[in-house]
Amino acid sequence: MPQTYTQSRLPRAIGGGWFARLSVFLFVAITFSSLVGPDGAGAQPTPEELLIEFQGADTPPQECMGIDRPEEALSCFWDNGFPYASLCPQSLYSPQEEICPGPRVSIADFNFSDEIPFRNSLIQSLGGFERGQFYNHRQVLDFIEVLRDRLGVTDAEITFEQAGLSSVRMQVDGRAPRSSISAGFYVDSFDGFVGTLTGRHFVGINAPGFLEYYLQGASNGLSELGASIPVSVRPESTTRLGVRAYDADGHYADLRGARLSLSVAQYAPGAAQLPRIASYGGEIVQETFRAAGFTPQDDEYLSAFVNWELDTPDFFDDNDLRLSAYWLAGHGLSSKLSFSGSNVSDLLDNSEAVFRNFSHMELMLGSISTAPVSERILLGGQNLRGFYPREIGRTTNGNFTNWGERWSLTSQFELLWPIQRGFSDVSVGVHADLGLISDDNFDIASYGSVGLISELGSFEDVTVQLTLSRNNFSRNRLALSINVHR
C-alpha cells in the first residue's frame, strides 16, 4: 500500500524506521510547496509529501555507501534520485542501521505555469535541471528559493506526476506579478515629511526581468529618483544597468549628483563554499557638495566594488564584506573596506521577545582627502539614529578636505515584546544605537542614542513604526513611518 512521507515526520522516520514494499503498478505524486508572503520575508518551512508506487528497489548509489550517520546517508540518497529511501524496519531490532533505498526516479519533462512570465528554457536553466536527470531533493528546495528571490514568484508549488516506468514530470506553478508597487512615508522631527514610492514592472525584451524604480521627496528639499533594468539574465548571474539622480538639502551640507551604474549579482543557491563573491560592479559619478562657510566642491569619479558573502552563522544571519575603490579626477586613487551584518533571534528559548541587531564597520584605506566627499566616513542619519546625516566626523568651516575619519563602528540594537497577535500584530520595545569613530591618531570618540519603539503590522502588507530617541547631546527625535506593499 502506498506510504506518505512528510518533512515534519523525518525525525520519527529516522528514529523508528519506515519503509513499505511497493506494488506492481506505477504512480507518483511528489508535491513541494512553499508559501512566500508578499513582503519578501525569508522562506517558510517547506512541507513535502510523497506518494509513490514503483515495483522493486534499485541499486543504491555508490557515493552514499560508507556514510555512518543515518541522517547524512538519507540526505545523500534523496539527493541522488531516491526520494523514498528510509531506514529499514529491521533496523529497530538490530544495532546496525540499514537503509532501504526504494526506486530511483528520474525527471522526464517540465511544465511551467503561464503565470510566470519568463521563458520556460530560462526557468529550467535557473534551477539547473536537465531532462533525464535523477531527482535531487536539495536541488528542488533551492529552486523554490530561486523562484522567489530571482523571479518574484509567490505561492510557488512544484508537483511531480507520473511520466513513465521510473520517471516523473515536474510541474512548476505559482504567480509572478507583472507589476508591483509599494509606498511609504515618515514624519521626522529632524527631516520633516518624507515620502517614498518603489515599484517594478516586467519587461520581456532581450534580458527578461523587472524594471525597478523608486522615487523620494521630502518637505526639506530632499528628492531622489532611480531606476535599473536587467541587461543579462543567466543561471549564475544577473547584470543590471542603473541610473540615479539626487538633490538633498541637509542640515549641515547639501548634495546634488547623478550616477550611472553597472552591477552583476552572483547566485549560488545552497552554496557550501564561503566566502564567495556575491556581487561586483562599477559607477560613473558626478556630485556637488555645498555647505555654509565652505567652498563648493565638485567631484567627478569612477568607483568599483566587490561584495563577498561570509560564513558567520554564530554572529549574523546575513552579512556582506565590501571593498570599494574610487578614482577621483585630479586626486587619484582611494579605497574603503566595509562590513555589514544583521541578525534576528529570540531573546530566550521560551520567550516571545525578539532581539534584532544591525552592525556596520568602515575603514578608509590610503589618504582620506583624495576620496570623494560622499564616500568618506561620517556618522549620523540612517547609520546612527538620533543624529543628523553627516553630523559626526565633519569640520565647521574652510573646505571639505578635512571631512571624514579613518574608521567607524556602529551597532543598532532593538528588543521588542509582542503585546497583541491576530488581526494585527503590535509590539513595543527599546532601541540603542552606538557609534565609535576614530581619526588617523586613533583618537576614538563615542556617540549614541536610546529610545522607545512601537510597531504595528496588519493585513501582512501594512507596517507602522513609531520611534522616540534621545542622543548624548540631550537632543530628542520623534519619527513615524508607514509602509504599504502591494
pLDDT in tens, 384-401: 888 988 899 988 767 788
User: Which pLDDT tens digit goes with each residue over 268-301?
Assistant: 765 555 688 999 999 999 999 998 888 889 999 9
Mention every residue, 6+ apart, whose C-beta is less than 8 A from residue 321: 275, 307, 308, 309, 310, 337, 338, 339
What share of the chain in percent tops pLDDT 90? 35
Do 249 and 126 lie in one domain? The reply is: no
Do 169 and 279 lie in one domain? The reply is: no
Domain end point (choices 150, 175, 200): 175
* CA pseudo-torsion sign 86, 88, 89, 95: negative
User: Which pLDDT tens digit goes with each residue over 49-68?
Assistant: 444 455 455 677 788 887 87
Most confident range, picked from 7-16, 23-32, 150-159? 150-159
- Cα 51 from Cα 230, distance rounded (Å): 40
Do 157 and 296 lie in one domain? The reply is: no
Do 169 and 301 lie in one domain? The reply is: no
In terms of phi and psi (left: phi > 0; alpha: psi -120 to 50; beta: otherwise), the region of 81 is: left
Structural domain boundaries, residue 49: 4-175
> In 3-state terms, what secondary structure has residue 286?
strand
- Omega before residue 275 within 30° of 0, cis: yes
- The residue with greater pLDDT, 447 or 8, is 447
CB 175 within 8 A of CB 154: yes
Largest CA distance in the chain: 88
Do 162 and 286 lie in one domain? The reply is: no
Do 171 and 217 lie in one domain? The reply is: no
- The residue with greater pLDDT, 188 or 253, is 253
Do 143 and 19 lie in one domain? The reply is: yes
Do 223 and 324 lie in one domain? The reply is: yes
Domain end point (choices 159, 175, 191): 175
Average pLDDT, integer, range 346-351: 77
Domain count, the chain: 2
Give which of 88, 81, 30 is closest to 60, Cα–Cα. 81
Do 204 and 350 lie in one domain? The reply is: yes
Cell of 67: 556514510
| Residue 34 reports pLDDT greater than 50 | no
Indicate the length of the chain as a whole number. 486
Do 131 and 260 lie in one domain? The reply is: no
Do 351 and 231 lie in one domain? The reply is: yes
Average pLDDT, integer, range 168-178: 88
Do 190 and 131 lie in one domain? The reply is: no
Give the chain's mean pLDDT: 81
CATH, residue 375: 2.40.160.50
What share of the chain in percent tops pLDDT 70? 82
Domain end point (choices 143, 175, 207): 175
CB 88 within 8 A of CB 149: no
